[in-house]
Amino acid sequence: MKHALRMSILMLGLVGTYVAAAVPQVPTPDGGPIITCPPQQQLQGKCTANQQPPM
């Protein structure tokens, strides 16, 4: 009886893991890219590697 109960619990764990992995992931918004230097200022050469753009 104990072995059957243990086996059932382990099988539920394995099946649950498979079902959780089979569910398609839904993309969530992450806030967008981190803007370090606007493209217009990059073209003009106003940004350096360590400089943050003025806000």
pLDDT band at 8 (very low <50, low <70, confident <90, very high): very high
Per-residue confidence band for 15, with pLDDT thresholds at 50, 70 and 90: very high
**C-beta atoms surrounding 41 within 10 Å:** 13
41 touches 55 (CB < 8 A): no
Give this prediction's pTM. Answer: 0.42
Decide if pLDDT at 52 tops 90.
Answer: no
Q: Where does the chain have alpha helices with state H?
A: 2-22, 39-44
Query: What is the mean pLDDT of the segment spanning 4-21?
Result: 94
Q: Which residue has the higher pLDDT, 55 or 14?
A: 14
Mean pLDDT of the chain: 80
d(CA 37, CA 45): 10
